[in-house]
Structures are given as structure tokens and as C-alpha cells.
């Protein structure tokens, strides 16, 4: 009983004596400004490791947590290792940003985040059992590209660096389920693979453009996953050297897809001898019945076409930097947007698809509106600042 009587006195003395209580862990404030008059749903906010560490002490970016100041709730964050060296370089998170809005978020440090399966909205993997596919998806779209083993597959050999499309009408991730059941050419309620890319550019494939001719690589020979959800999937494909108008050209293609978006970011790093390529082209297969539109001023080329298997419609779009556009042409069954490219430089463009049974696009006008706003968002990114709290 004596011990219990002394306890309040001890607590009182500690407070009254002016002893300093443990301080809250230092953090940082992220301010995001939308300079456009359009809403930006699922905007991906990218924070560099340097900016975070300048504002708060943190070593491992996997321990960074993000709180939405408006709701007071923690939101999902993903660290990114850009070069696969084991050191994380960025932290990304997503938020809906209203037109001309300013939003703030608080960073703090805590235990390393371990994600649950239901948090993943982006994912991709190398599929050995399907003759070297690399397949990837998010909560909107799914794609695949073809690896070396498919070139010599006895059943259906194919040599192509095309971008294939899988139509989805579910927000859940389906790649593993569809490969496991191996009946993904029929729609069982979630969508299906009803697109035939073949040797075309499919929906966003590219190549070297020279003197009115398109030169393309064979299937990729190596793959590397750099980020694999829950928000962003990012990977690289390495292609063997190929001939482009007498030059031997090599390519490493980096593909990035974020949750909530229909467009992938494609970046091709070309190198060639002796002088390397001068122009490249990214494009879309022109299927029978396709409605093609182009807008060089915005750097947008798109199609809207019927899906023979079920009578639906889908669109494919390519967005490039308008300042780099040289021409829009048709070649080898494709609609191509040709862009300038200094020798050895990186080429970046965006490409993706929209299906009228996905719930996101009912008409070609919906698809055009999406591409227009996507082009605006690409040209005018949000302004992001990080400051000590």
C-alpha cells in the first residue's frame, strides 16, 4: 500500500521539476500544387531521397510514412530503387488533386512497411512458363511483351517487339490467375486477351525510323524488375543488336505503369554505330475499322477500333513531346508518330489503352478527353516541395 501512495508524488515531481519529456520524432511537410484547371485523380507524387533527407533525418527510405493532412490518415507509400543497386532513391505516393488545389502531407519515420496483398494495384513479372513473356498490369490495364523463347516455340513462333494488350473490366490484378488457368482468350467476367498484336507495333511499340522505313528489334533477351507495386511497376527489357539502315543499334527499354492510369511511360535508351539513329517512331497497329486521329500540336495519336471477339470497342493512344514531332505516317500496318532523336539519346513517350467495357470509357469522346487531360498533366507536372516540420 505504501508503494501505491508514493506513485502520484513521483509523477508530480517529474513534471514539476521541469524534466524534458521525449520529443516527437522529427518529420517533414510535403506541399503539392496543381497548376492546371483540371482535376488530377491518382496523381503520383515523387519525392527524391535527397529532398527527404534534407528535411528530416532518415537513412532507409523504406521507413518513410506519409500522412494526409486533410484526413489525418496514413496513406500508402512505396520506395523506389531506380538502378537496382539495393539503395532506395525515391518515395512515391498518390493523391487526388483538385483543379488549382494545394494539398499538404506529413512525412514521418517508423517501422519498414510490409504491404498486404489487397494493397497492390500494380504488378508485373517475367513469365518463363509462357515462353518468356513479360506481363504487367495495374487496376486499369494489362500488357505483355515477348521474350526470346517465343521466337522458336514450335506451336506458335513469333518474333516481335510489339506491345500486347489485355482488356480488363475489374480493378483486381489478374495476371497470375489468367496464366494459371490458361484460358484468358475468353472473357469469364474480368476481361480477356482479345487483341492480336502480331508483328505490328501493337499498342505503343517503337522502332528506328530512317528514310521512310521502320526498323524494329527482335524479342527481348533479358529483363529486370526495378519496382513491383503496390503503386508502381517498373522494369527494363534488353534487346539484341539489330540493323537500322546500316547501323547496329542496341536498345534498353524501361517501362513504368502507375496505379489508376491507363498510360505507360516508355523510355528507350538507344546506342548505335557508327553514328546511331537520328529518328525513332512509336505507334499503333491500324486494324480494320480503326478510327485514327492525330494532333501534332499536343503530340497525340490515337485509334478507336472494334474488338471482333465480342463487338466492343477499344482505343490506343500514344503521347510524345510535341516539340520533337517530325511526322505522323503509316507504315507496315501501323500509325506512327516520328520523333527526332540525337544519337545515343533517350527517347520517352507514353502509350496505353482504354476499353469501352472497363467502366471508364463509353465512347471515343471519353477516350479523347482522357488523352487530352493526360497530355496536359504530362506537360505540366504538379509542383512539389519538401520542408522540415
pLDDT of residue 272: 78
- The pLDDT of residue 158 is above 90: yes
- The pLDDT of residue 15 is above 70: no
Break the chain into its structural domains and give their ranges: 118-379
Alpha-helical regions (H) of 35-74: 49-55
| Residue 379 DSSP one-character state | H
Looking at 1-5, 48-52, 146-150, which range is the least confident one?
A: 1-5
Which residues make beta-bridge pairs with 30? 105, 386
pLDDT of residue 274: 59
- The pLDDT of residue 201 is above 70: yes
**166-192 pLDDT, tens per residue?**
999 999 999 999 999 999 999 999 999
Is the preceding peptide bond at 230 cis, omega within 30 degrees of 0? yes
pLDDT of residue 6: 35
Cell readout for 56 is 528530416
- The pLDDT of residue 13 is above 50: no
Distances (CA, A) of 185 to 27, 126, 138, 161, 179: 50, 20, 19, 21, 11
pLDDT of residue 5: 38
Q: Which CATH number fits domain 118-379: 2.70.98, 3.30.1380, 2.50.20, 1.20.1260?
A: 2.70.98
What's the half-sphere exposure (Cβ side, CA atoms, 13 Å) at 324? 20
First to last CA, the chain: 46
**338-354 pLDDT, tens per residue?**
999 876 678 999 999 99
**223-256 pLDDT, tens per residue?**
999 999 999 999 999 999 999 988 899 999 999 9
> Cα 364 from chain centroid?
23
* Residue 133, phi then psi, degrees to nearest 5: -65, 150
pLDDT of residue 346: 87
Specify whether the backbone of 97 is left (phi greater than 0), alpha (psi in -120 to 50) or beta: beta
Give the burial class of 50: count Cβ atoms within 10 A of its Cβ; 0-12 exposed, 13-18 middle, 19 or more buried. Answer: exposed
Cell readout for 342 is 540525337
Q: What is the mean pLDDT of residues 103-114?
A: 96
Residue with cell 513479372: 125
pLDDT of residue 388: 97
Q: What is the mean pLDDT of residues 57-75?
A: 97
* Residue 371, phi then psi, degrees to nearest 5: -65, -40
> Cα 86 from chain centroid?
21
Which carries the bigger pLDDT value, residue 345 or residue 332? Answer: 332
pLDDT of residue 2: 39
Beta strands in 120-219 (DSSP E): 122-127, 133-138, 142-146, 164-168, 191-192, 203-210, 213-215
Mean pLDDT, the chain, rounded, equals 92
pLDDT band at 14 (very low <50, low <70, confident <90, very high): very low
- The pLDDT of residue 270 is above 60: yes
Burial 21-47 (b: 16+ CB within 10 A, else e): eeeeeebbbbebebebebebebbbbeb
Q: What is the mean pLDDT of residues 122-135?
A: 96
Amino acid at each position: 500500500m505504501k508503494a501505491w501512495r508514493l506513485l502520484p508524488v513521483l509523477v508530480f515531481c517529474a513534471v514539476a521539476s521541469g524534466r524534458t519529456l521525449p520529443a516527437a520524432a522529427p518529420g517533414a511537410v510535403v506541399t503539392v500544387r496543381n497548376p492546371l484547371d483540371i482535376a488530377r485523380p491518382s496523381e503520383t507524387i515523387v519525392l527524391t531521397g535527397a529532398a527527404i533527407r534534407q528535411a528530416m533525418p532518415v537513412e532507409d527510405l523504406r521507413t518513410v510514412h506519409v500522412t494526409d493532412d486533410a484526413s489525418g490518415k496514413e496513406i500508402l507509400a512505396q520506395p523506389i530503387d531506380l538502378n537496382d543497386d539495393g539503395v532506395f532513391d525515391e518515395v512515391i505516393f498518390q493523391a487526388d488533386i483538385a483543379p488549382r488545389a494545394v494539398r499538404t502531407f506529413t512525412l514521418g519515420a517508423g517501422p519498414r512497411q510490409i504491404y498486404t496483398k489487397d494493397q497492390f494495384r500494380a504488378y508485373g513479372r517475367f513469365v518463363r512458363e509462357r515462353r518468356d513473356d513479360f506481363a504487367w498490369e495495374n487496376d486499369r490495364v494489362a500488357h505483355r511483351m515477348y521474350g526470346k523463347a517465343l521466337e522458336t516455340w514450335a506451336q506458335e513462333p513469333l518474333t516481335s517487339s510489339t506491345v500486347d494488350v489485355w482488356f480488363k473490366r475489374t480493378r483486381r490484378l489478374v495476371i497470375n490467375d489468367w496464366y494459371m488457368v490458361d484460358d484468358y482468350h475468353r472473357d469469364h467476367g474480368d476481361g480477356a486477351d482479345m487483341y492480336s498484336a502480331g508483328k505490328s507495333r501493337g499498342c505503343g511499340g517503337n522502332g528506328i525510323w530512317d528514310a521512310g522505313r521502320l526498323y524494329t528489334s527482335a524479342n527481348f533477351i533479358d529483363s529486370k524488375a526495378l519496382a513491383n507495386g503496390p503503386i508502381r511497376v517498373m522494369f527494363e527489357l534488353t534487346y539484341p543488336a539489330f540493323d537500322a539502315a546500316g547501323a547496329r543499334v542496341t536498345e534498353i527499354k524501361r517501362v513504368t505503369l502507375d496505379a489508376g492510369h491507363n498510360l505507360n511511360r516508355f523510355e528507350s535508351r538507344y546506342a548505335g554505330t557508327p553514328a546511331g539513329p537520328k529518328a525513332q517512331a512509336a505507334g499503333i497497329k491500324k486494324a480494320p475499322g480503326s478510327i485514327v486521329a492525330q494532333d501534332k500540336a499536343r503530340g497525340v495519336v490515337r485509334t478507336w477500333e472494334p474488338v471482333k471477339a465480342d463487338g466492343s470497342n477499344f482505343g490506343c493512344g500514344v503521347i510524345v513531346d510535341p516539340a520533337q514531332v517530325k511526322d505522323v505516317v503509316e507504315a507496315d500496318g501501323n500509325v506512327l508518330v516520328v520523333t527526332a532523336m540525337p544519337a545515343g539519346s533517350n527517347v520517352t513517350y507514353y502509350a496505353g489503352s482504354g476499353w469501352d467495357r472497363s467502366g471508364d470509357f463509353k465512347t471515343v469522346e471519353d477516350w479523347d478527353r482522357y488523352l487530352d487531360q493526360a497530355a496536359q498533366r504530362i506537360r505540366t507536372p504538379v509542383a512539389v516541395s519538401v520542408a522540415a516540420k
